[in-house]
Amino acid sequence: MSEKQVVEADLNFDPFNCCGNEALYPFKCSQCGWPMVFCYECDTLYNNLHDLSQNDQEINHFKPDHPGFSCPKCNYKFEYYFMQNPLYWVSIKDWVDAGFEHLLRKNST
């Protein structure tokens, strides 16, 4: 099993519908491993990949010196610039093990 990380190009964009111009960043919580997807085009957080309609969590996108948001599972505080932190990368294996293979393009695994 490879330790390749899930990147934007691996995602199946079809189930994600926020702004119509989705730019999706897959990541996980470094504390509890909960996988999530962030649309950095419109600042939408898909914090429950079992139900993509749950995407209305408040995100701080104005104050870089404050946390961006917290993990819905363990309340871990993600820093404002979390997208630059490799700590939150999620491997294909962990992603699939979490049950989200259907959110990947067919040829990614």
Task: Determine the interface stretch with Zn ion among 1-9, 29-37, 55-63, 81-89 (rule: CB under 5 A).
Answer: 29-37
Please identify, among the stretches 12-20, 82-90, 91-99, 101-109, the one whose residues bind Zn ion according to the rule CB under 5 A: 12-20
The answer to whether 19 contacts Zn ion (rule: CB under 5 A) is yes
Nearer to Zn ion, 73 or 93 (CB): 73
Q: Which of 27, 64, 33, 58 is nearest to 43 (CA)?
A: 58
3-state secondary structure (DSSP) of residue 95: helix
Position 93 contacts Zn ion (CB under 5 A): no
Task: Pick the closest to residue 108 from 97, 92, 86, 95 (CA basis).
Answer: 92
Of the candidates 19, 17, 15, 73, the one whose C-alpha atom is nearest the C-alpha of residue 41 is: 19
Is 87 a binding residue for Zn ion by CB under 5 A? The answer is: no
Strand partners, 58: none
Residues that bind Zn ion (CB under 5 A): 18-19, 22, 29, 31-32, 34, 39, 41-42, 44, 71, 73-74, 76
